[in-house]
Amino acid sequence: MLRLYLRRFLGNPLALAGAVVVLSLVALALASPWLSPTDPLQQDLIHRLQPPSPAHWMGTDDLGRDVLSRVITGARVSLAVGGLAVGIAVLLGTLVGVLAGYHGGWVDAVLMRAVDVLLCFPTIFLILMVVAFLEPNILNVMAVIGLTSWMGLARLVRGETLSLRERDFMLAACGLGLSTPRILGVHLLPHIVSPIIVAATLGVGGAVMTESALSFLGLGVQPPWPSWGNILTVGKDYLHIAWWLSLFPGLAILVTVLGFNLLGEGLRDVLDPRLGNE
């Protein structure tokens, strides 16, 4: 089975392109302390707002800090926020979806009505409302994004659980008297892991966008620590004279979101046997 998936993956240009972009970004984030040309916090007011040059490939900002170093370091921040926020969302969404789909009845009704209520609120306004009462730092941003983005995954997992609940292997497991945790962990979850992986991959791009938006508004990662969003915040004030402050972090966000979306779409085609061509 693994070889079949690998063959489908290698034959899928979308998945390959997305994987190359994502792996490159992860490598860049992990190696950022060594790849950054200078300290991203080091100020040089004499050379502030310098355009791209051999000395500063992406120019400098309003405090003379090297934009390339700040964009590279911002990759670590954005990917960390995106990955951990999606991890929280996956845990919550999977737990709620499995419980609702497997138990049915009043458990399903209560959990899904709660999900419906939360989905009525626009996500960005829900996030802004929660962040407004918390200290704006990276840990709170991770938690808030994760706690406000699990509802769609919960509905997806519930639907998959409902379709599997009456299958022969599930009925056999129940007939053998296996405990509920064993049935769910050993017999059910392995069959729904594929759509969870796809949803999580697609979710990282959305989490990166959300973190950038919050940092742009001053509610996310706080200066002087760099994030793509707060670099853009500085860039908007100097757009007419320092275009590079908006261009390069904007391109970084674009490439990141595109890479995760391509990987997610490719994995969906690879992991879904109804879409795969053998």
For the stretch 62-75, pLDDT in tens is 888 999 999 999 99
- List CB contacts of 155: < 8 A, sequence separation 6 or more: 97, 112, 115
Domains belonging to the chain, first-starting first, are 2-271 (1.10.3720.10)
Quote the pLDDT of residue 69. 92
* Per-residue confidence band for 274, with pLDDT thresholds at 50, 70 and 90: low
* Per-residue confidence band for 135, with pLDDT thresholds at 50, 70 and 90: confident
Quote the pLDDT of residue 136. 72
- Longest CA pairwise span in the chain (Å): 76
Kindly state the percentage of the chain with pLDDT values over 70. Answer: 97
* Angle 59-65-70 from CA coordinates, rounded to 5°: 80
Query: 124 to each of 36, 60, 120, 219, 258, how far by Cα in Å?
Result: 32, 31, 12, 12, 20
Q: Give pLDDT tens digits for 175-234.
A: 877 787 888 887 788 888 888 998 999 899 889 998 888 888 888 888 888 889 889 988
Backbone angles phi, psi at 31, to 5 degrees: -95, 10
Inform me whether the pLDDT recorded for 277 exceeds 50.
no
Residues 41-46 have a mean pLDDT of 88
Radius of gyration for the chain, computed over Cα atoms and rounded to the nearest angstrom: 22
72 or 266, greater pLDDT? 72
CB 96, CB 77: distance < 8 Å: no
227 or 136, greater pLDDT? 227
Q: Where are the alpha helices (DSSP H) in 120-243?
A: 123-131, 138-147, 151-165, 168-175, 180-182, 189-216, 228-237
How many whole angstroms separate alpha carbon 111 and alpha carbon 92?
12
Quote the pLDDT of residue 278. 42
Quote the pLDDT of residue 72. 93
Quote the pLDDT of residue 1. 61
DSSP character string of 32-90: HHHH-SS-TT---GGGTTPPS-SSSTT-B-TTS-BHHHHHHHHHHHHHHHHHHHHHHHH
How many whole angstroms separate alpha carbon 257 and alpha carbon 241?
27
Quote the pLDDT of residue 143. 86
- List CB contacts of 79: < 8 A, sequence separation 6 or more: 25, 26, 29, 204, 208, 256
218 or 31, greater pLDDT? 31
How many whole angstroms separate alpha carbon 117 and alpha carbon 10?
41
Kindly state the percentage of the chain with pLDDT values over 90. Answer: 32
Quote the pLDDT of residue 26. 92
Quote the pLDDT of residue 121. 78
Question: Cα 223 from chain centroid?
Answer: 22
139-141-143-144 Cα dihedral, nearest 10 degrees:
160
Return the structure tokens found at 230. Answer: 């707060």
How many whole angstroms separate alpha carbon 34 and alpha carbon 90?
32
Inform me whether the pLDDT recorded for 2 exceeds 80.
no
**Any idea which residue has 């009525």 for tokens?**
120
277 or 200, greater pLDDT? 200
Quote the pLDDT of residue 276. 45
Q: How many CA atoms lie within 13 A of 96 on its CB side?
A: 23
Quote the pLDDT of residue 180. 78
CB 39, CB 9: distance < 8 Å: no
Residues 128-156 have a mean pLDDT of 83
